[in-house]
Chain A
Amino acid sequence: MRLLGLRTFRHGIHPPECKDETAAMAVRQFPFAPQLIVPLSQHTGKPAIAEVREGQEVARGQRIARPDGFVSVSMHAPASGVVRKIALSPGIAGRMTPSIFLEPFPGSTQEVAEGTPCPLDSAIPEEIVAAIQDAGIVGLGGAAFPTHVKLKIPEDKSVDTLIINGAECEPYLTTDHRVMLEQRDDIFTGIRYLLKVTGAERAIIGVEANKPDAVEHLRDGLPADLPACVEMLQVKYPQGAEKMLITALLRREVPSGGLPLETHALCCNVATTAEIGRLLPHGRGIQERVITITGPAVRRPGNYRIPIGTPLRFLLEEVGVKPDLNRVFLGGPMMGAAASSLEIPITKGTSGVTAFTENAAERTHAEVHPCIRCAYCVDACPIHLDPAQLGLLALSEQYAAMADAFNLMDCFECGSCSFVCPSHIPLVQQFRLAKRAVRKARSV
């Protein structure tokens, strides 16, 4: 679907973008916290297995945990320092997870050692997949799904198009925007690796129209021999969702309950692609990532290259927060999770930290009214569900009916329905509970 010459999908919402404050700010190096907390499980799948012991000295970039099986990735030391302990630390979901507590050496040059490179020209696809797993690369857009798992394409499937996701539709975040402006060559190298692994004929970089400078910059530098193009997308949430992006760019629909691969497309976040291009030629692993720190409660917002494991408390102290700080989200305000503690570390899947003041909270404190069948949610849902009907069924806990008759399980929880609801009915919140209940019932 095209609107005013820009590609997009049907439905969706237009939340305030709030990106102006940080979009023009170059990525700066974030200082090392006195203690870094590296959870062994920062990705979807099995936690990594620690390869260091308490008291051991490690060098920055050194592997400190190895993958446990295929759906798991390596961890690398975010700083040269000493392992203080391996113990439980709180995660964003509130669960305690085993983590490596690392104390950086204050005077260290923090140089990163070279590893065994994975040369683009000579490496075979299997070697690239292994190198990506070994580099600890996961989806940096927020999903934190191990990238190499996605790249292991089953025998009976094929990929014709590689989609690089630079939509960044989440309000406030400018991480991918900055990566596109500052790491253009890394992105192109990453695309070459990915094209080689997937066997795709071409790559499309999809960027929302609110980042014209990024589109222009990428187009200007596009190497002649790279079968890639940059497409401008309409500014609309959730344009960056895999399904919506595939539909916008290729006019193909991911079948309900199926994998995106079934459309012969493979999506990779632009920051993830840049990391592949940056790390693989040097055989290094992820020890830091780019994040946006922003929101009404942050005094010095900006984009930072931050060591993995930086605790939230240190982060907020560095950028300064206003006294009426009220809520902190990992990610943006549409899909980000609220932090229950400031001891939570930044992990590979954290694309930003947004802090709100009490005043900004007013909009979610609103009184709940009955559904007036305004159909705003019906017009917002990107996958054409009937959130109003689902909401009614959820009230009476008819979860099975929601899944069987109203396609509940296709909901990917973008939150557009709750955003637009003038009655402030917690629609997506109920759907999350309902989906869990259905999964539980089905697994019995």
Chain B
Amino acid sequence: MARGKTLEIRTSPHILSGHRVDTIMFNVVLALLPTTAFAIYAFGLAGALTLTVATGSCVATEFGFCRLSKKKSTVGDWSVTITGLLYGLTLPPGLPLWMTAIGGFIAVALGKTLFGGLGQNPFNPALVGRAVLQAAFPVALTSWIPGFTAERFASLPPSTLTPPLTQPVYPDVWTMATPLSQWKFDHALTETGDLALGLIGGSTGETSSLLILLGGLYLIARNMMNWRIPAGIFAAVAAFSGALHLADPERYASPLFMLFSGGLMLGAMFMATDMVGSPMTGRGCFLYGALIGVLVVVIRVWGGMPEGVMYAILLGNAVSTHIDRLVRPSVYGTSGGAR
């Protein structure tokens, strides 16, 4: 019998659902793997190096800060791996590695650690890193190399190994416009089929919309992603750009082009849905998604840049807690309506 045994006393509940922060984060990493693999397949060594250095610099930064503050390393919760992968997936594959490393450091140091680490960062750290790079190195961040070249697994683009603190040189034949910039500056549209499959130029991870959707659906099925956010974004983008397209099909691209081009798919599925920076109420998530969707179209159509997903999400992050406050559901028994 239990004589001489110690009984544990805790307050209820005595069972837990089994969901854990690290398993959720690990599943997000898993969901990103198809996209990551496709990026490496499309861009070869350049893609692989960009993603490795991006992820590595983020993880190393987090590890370093944990060491500095003499805390247990938080690398094991996988959240910094997500940041690193997402950050890498937003970069042009030929980006000089020294820039990649600086951006990774900034993403984690400025985007996450400075605010107090996991759960405290108001902005998506990966996008913080990329936004700083975009401001510091605008040319390098908008120079795209073509994917699927025959020699992609044999040689690197000359820009990748640019010595630190020097500007990369891009051979003219290598740089390639993205579908969005072609549309914006040359009024040329890419086939939607090519967009969905990813047979286009662009950032490492903004190419294959279908694989991104697949990863997102996996997370939604496992209740690790709030479907309302991408749904809100897609609905707003489709409705807004659809209305514009109907009004003037010559000038404005079709909703399908808008949905499948650029970083929209990756941003909607994996960055806007970052739990920390998004609202907590159901209605808030729809609203937040819709706001991001509208901003994306506004920036793409009337802004100076061809792409606006990054800034749209960062703006959404900034107001997510306010959105929650706006639509906070009434507590049971306080509305009086149901009586």
Q: CB-CB contacts of A64-84 with B at 8 A, as 1s and 0s?
A: 000000000000000000000
Q: Is A199 interfacial (CB-CB < 8 Å)?
A: no
Shortest C-beta distance, B119 to chain A (Å), equals 4
Q: Is the CB of A363 within 8 A of B1?
A: no
Q: Is the CB of A385 within 8 A of B275?
A: no
Instruction: Pick the contact of A15: B17, B21, B120 (CB < 8 A).
Output: B17
**Known contacts A370-B118, A375-B226: does B14 contact A333 (CB below 8 Å)?**
yes
Check: A329 CB closer than 8 A to any chain B CB: yes
Is B16 in contact with A410, judged by CB distance below 8 angstroms?
no
Q: How many Å from the CB of B330 to the closest CB on chain A?
A: 7
List 4 other contacts, CB 8 Å, given A252-B338, A372-B119. Answer: A13-B17, A370-B118, A410-B332, A419-B15
The listed residue (A255, A372, A373, A383) touching B339 by CB distance below 8 A is: A255
Q: Which residue of B lies closest to A422 (CB)?
A: B19
Contact between B19 and A338, CB atoms less than 8 A apart: no
A386 to B77, CA, bound (A): 25
Residue of B whose beta carbon sits closest to that of A382: B332
Q: Is B12 an interface residue (CB 8 A)?
A: yes
The 19 listed contacts between A and B (C-beta, < 8 Å) are A15-B15, A171-B15, A253-B337, A256-B331, A256-B334, A258-B333, A325-B2, A333-B14, A334-B14, A337-B12, A340-B9, A356-B14, A369-B20, A371-B119, A372-B21, A373-B119, A379-B282, A420-B17, A422-B20
Q: How distant is the Cα of A376 from the Cα of B24 in the complex, in angstroms?
A: 12
Interface of B is mostly: loop
A378 to B329, CA, bound (A): 10
Segment with Cβ contacts to B, from A201-209, A278-286, A424-432, A436-444:
A424-432
1/0 per residue, CB under 8 A from A, across B18-34: the answer is 11111110000000000
CB distance B24 to A422 under 8 Å? yes
Task: Check B2–A321 contact: CB distance below 8 A.
Answer: yes
Residues from 238 to 260 in A contacting B, C-beta threshold 8 Å = 243, 247, 251-258
Q: Mark A275-293, 1 if CB is under 8 A from B, else 0.
A: 0000000000000000000
5 shortest interchain CB distances as A-B pairs: A383-B332, A415-B13, A370-B119, A375-B280, A256-B333
Closest-by-CB residue of A relative to B117 is A370
Which one of A171, A373, A429 has the greatest number of beta carbons of chain B within 10 Å? Answer: A373
A376 touching B2, Cβ below 8 Å: no
Interface centre among A258, A366, A384, A388 (most CB of B within 10 A): A384
What's the Cα separation between A317 and B2 when bound, in Å? 9
> Does B10 interact with chain A (Cβ within 8 Å)?
yes
Q: A369-B118, A382-B332 are in contact. Are A334 and B13 (CB under 8 A)?
A: yes
The answer, yes or no, to whether B154 is at the interface (CB within 8 Å) is: no
Is A26 interfacial (CB 8 A cutoff)? no
Whether A419 pairs with B17 at a CB distance below 8 angstroms is: yes
Nearest B residue to A253 by beta-carbon distance? B338
Inter-chain contact B7/A243, CB cutoff 8 Å:
no
A359 at the interface (CB under 8 A from B): no
Contact A329 B12 (CB under 8 A): yes
Cβ of A229 under 8 Å from chain B? no
Band of interface residues on A = 35 or more
Digitize A335-360: 1 where CB-to-B-CB distance is under 8 Å, 0 elsewhere.
11111111000000000000010000
Q: B8 touches which one: A251, A327, A378, A382 (CB < 8 A)?
A: A327
Contact of B280 among A16, A256, A334, A378 (CB under 8 A): A378
When the two chains form their complex, are residues B332 and A384 in contact, meaning their CB atoms are under 8 A apart? Answer: yes
- If the complex has contacts A321-B1, A329-B14, A370-B120, are A376 and B7 also in contact, measured as CB distance less than 8 A? no
Is A44's beta carbon under 8 Å from chain B? no
Q: Mark B280-312, 1 if CB is under 8 A from A, else 0.
A: 111000000000000000000000000000000
Whether A364 contacts B5 in the complex (CB less than 8 A), given A15-B15, A252-B339, A373-B280, comes out as: no
Task: Mark contacts of B221-265 with chain A using CB atoms, 8 A cut-off: 1 yes-contact digit, 0 otherwise.
Answer: 000001000000000000000000000000000000000000000
In the assembled complex, the Cα of A41 lies from the Cα of B189 at a distance in Å of 80
Is B67 in contact with chain A by the CB < 8 A criterion? no
Interface residue A326 (Cβ < 8 Å from any Cβ of B): yes
Q: Contact at A372–B17, with CB atoms within 8 Å?
A: no
Q: Does A124 contact B (CB under 8 A)?
A: no
Contact with B along A305-334 (1 / 0, CB 8 A): 000000001001100010001111101011
Number of chain B residues whose Cβ lies closer than 8 Å to a Cβ of chain A: 47
The answer on a CB contact under 8 Å between B10 and A364 is yes
A418 within 8 A of B: yes
Interface centre among B7, B24, B77 (most CB of A within 10 A): B7
A272 contacts B by Cβ under 8 Å: no
Query: B179 CB to closest chain A CB, in angstroms?
Result: 34
Q: Which of B7, B13, B282 has the most CB of A within 10 A?
A: B13
Q: What is the minimal beta-carbon distance from A306 to any residue of chain B, in angstroms?
A: 18
B36 at the interface (CB under 8 A from A): no
B residues touching A (Cβ–Cβ < 8 Å)?
1-2, 5, 7-24, 77, 79, 117-120, 226, 275-276, 278-282, 328-339
CB distance from A405 to the nearest CB of B (A): 11
The answer, yes or no, to whether A361 is at the interface (CB within 8 Å) is yes
User: Is the pair A378, B281 in contact by a Cβ cutoff of 8 Å?
Assistant: yes
- Check: A87 CB closer than 8 A to any chain B CB: no
Closest to B116 in A: A370
- A369 near B1 with CB under 8 A, answer no
Once the chains bind, are A251 and B338 in contact (CB under 8 Å)? yes
Task: Flag if A372 contacts B280 (CB, 8 Å).
Answer: no
Determine if B13 and A333 form an interchain contact, defined as CB atoms under 8 angstroms apart.
yes
Q: Which B residues are CB-close (under 8 A) to A15?
A: 15, 17
Are the CB atoms of B338 and A373 closer together than 8 Å?
A: no
Q: Does B331 contact A410, Cβ atoms closer than 8 Å?
A: yes
Tell me the nearest residue of chain A to B223, going by C-beta.
Answer: A376
Which residues of B lie under 8 Å from residue A339 when comparing CB positions?
7, 9
Q: Judging by beta carbons under 8 Å apart, are B15 and A253 in contact?
A: no
**Given known A-B contacts A378-B280, A422-B21, A317 and B11 have beta carbons under 8 A apart:** no
The verdict on A423 contacting chain B, using a C-beta distance below 8 Å, is yes
Q: Which residues of B contact A342 (CB under 8 A)?
A: 2, 7
Pick from B8, B9, B17, B280: contact of A388, CB under 8 Å: B280
How distant is the Cα of A422 from the Cα of B332 in the complex, in angstroms?
24
| Residues in B neighbouring A410, C-beta threshold 8 A | 331-334
Interface flag for A24 (CB, 8 Å):
no
Query: Residue on B with the closest CB to A172?
Result: B15
B14 nearest in chain A by CB position: A333
Q: Quick one: given A316-B2, A364-B10, are A373 and B278 in contact (CB under 8 Å)? A: yes
Roughly how many angstroms separate A429 CA and B13 CA in the complex, as a whole number? 9
The reply to whether B16 and A366 form a contact with Cβ atoms under 8 Å apart is yes
Chain A, range 1-51, C-beta contacts under 8 Å to B: 13, 15-16
Given A363-B18, A375-B275: A334 in contact with B333 (beta carbons within 8 A): no
Across the interface, name the chain B residue whose C-beta is closest to A254: B333
Bound-state Cα–Cα, A328 to B6, Å: 11
- With a cutoff of 8 Å between Cβ atoms, the chain A residues found around residue B118 in the complex are 369-370, 372
